[in-house]
Amino acid sequence: MKDFGVQSVVQFPAGLESVMLDLYQKSHGEDFGLSRDQFADILNEVVAKYLPLGTLSGGTHERDLEEFLRSLRVEDLALARACAIGREPAWDIFLLRYRGKLYDIAAYITKESSAARDLADSLYGDLYGTGSHDGQRVSKLASYTGRGSLEGWLRAVMGQEYINRYRRQRPLVSLEEKSEGGTQFAAPDPPPAAVVDPQVEAATAGALAGLSAEDRFLLASYYLDDRTLADIARLLGVHESTVSRKLDKIAKSLRNRIVAALVVQGMSHRQADEAMEIDVRDLQVNVKSLTQKVKAQSFPEEEIQAQTGDGTG
């Protein structure tokens, strides 16, 4: 069955044929209603998407290919793809395993029961495939590739949908906040123009560019997103204390680097410290508004709390 856009049945290289068969058995594809050929088609599609040379008959070393294939969650992949093409046995199992979890995930994301139900129902409709393209059912499950677990994928998709939904309704939130702000609080003074020493800004940009992606991710997660050390540690697979030490180290080294860059540009140490302090005072207002703007894109509750805070940023 040509459900995945692949033009022909793939012949696995001889060395990988046994791997494919082994994976097919592990995937329980037959129980879900997937044939071996269909399963091979799926694997080829996933390989084409993620590996540089794209095809099993290409130049990718067989060992790399095998390692990649074995890293896939083949059972989840077979289940999802079988559901996507409407295999009833697969749907039986999907319902059994994931229907309750969909609502749990939605409740965890939205923290509110009716919104959770709406979100889960909407995603469930997309997963089932109530839309159609050229007469064929279009299911979101057809895009699952088994790189992570199916449950994790469902979480990511639902998180994406939640963020998109919130974005669409964001003007509504702004309106309510404005009306509440007008009755409870005096309108804030417009922020003064930020006075940023170009030298300081350049030194800061240079210092940040010198950080690794992981370091910048840590800084952004902790200082911009206000994530807890525990959450960050879980994401990176390290201990919470490791994250804490790293953040301390990064923040200190950043400050030292900026000061060092300013000193190189001719400032004294004291002048460099003062330059950062001056900019800090001026930027507090801007940072607060910028931070609120960023936070509004994630949590409306946080935006309301930010506005009702003591204004110290």
The Cα 256–Cα 62 span in angstroms is 48
Q: Footprint of other proteins on residues 11-70 (CB under 8 A)?
A: 50, 68
**Listed ranges 183-191, 264-272, 282-290, 301-309: which one lies at the site for other proteins (CB under 8 A):** 282-290
Min dist. Cβ of residue 287 to other proteins (A): 5
Min dist. Cβ of residue 163 to other proteins (A): 6
Q: Footprint of other proteins on residues 207-226 (CB under 8 A)?
A: 207-208, 213-214, 216-217, 219-225
**Listed ranges 4-12, 37-45, 54-62, 249-257: which one lies at the site for other proteins (CB under 8 A):** 249-257
Q: Are 72 and 17 in contact (CB under 8 A)?
A: no
Query: Binding mask 182-201 vs other proteins (x if CB under 8 A, - otherwise)?
Result: --------------x---xx
In this structure, which amino acid lies at residue 261?
A: A
Among 276, 302, 304, 307, binds other proteins (CB under 8 A): 276
The Cα 200–Cα 91 span in angstroms is 59
Q: Footprint of other proteins on residues 148-187 (CB under 8 A)?
A: 148-149, 151-153, 155-164, 168-169, 171-172, 174-175
CB closer to other proteins out of 17 and 301: 301
Q: What is the DSSP letter of 141?
A: G
> Applying CB under 8 A, does 307 fall inside the site for other proteins?
no
Q: How many residues does the chain have?
A: 313
The Cα 124–Cα 140 span in angstroms is 9
In this structure, which amino acid lies at residue 301?
A: E
For the chain, helix, strand, coil in percent to 5 are 70, 0, 25
CB closer to other proteins out of 88 and 180: 88
In this structure, which amino acid lies at residue 162?
A: Y
CB closer to other proteins out of 36 and 208: 208
Q: How many CA atoms lie within 13 A of 271 on its CB side?
A: 11
> Applying CB under 8 A, does 95 fall inside the site for other proteins?
yes
CB closer to other proteins out of 9 and 49: 49
Other Cβ atoms closer than 10 A to 195: 10
Size of residue set near other proteins by CB under 8 A: 103
CB closer to other proteins out of 36 and 215: 215
Which residues touch 109 (CB under 8 Å, ≥6 apart)? Answer: 116, 119, 155, 158, 159, 162
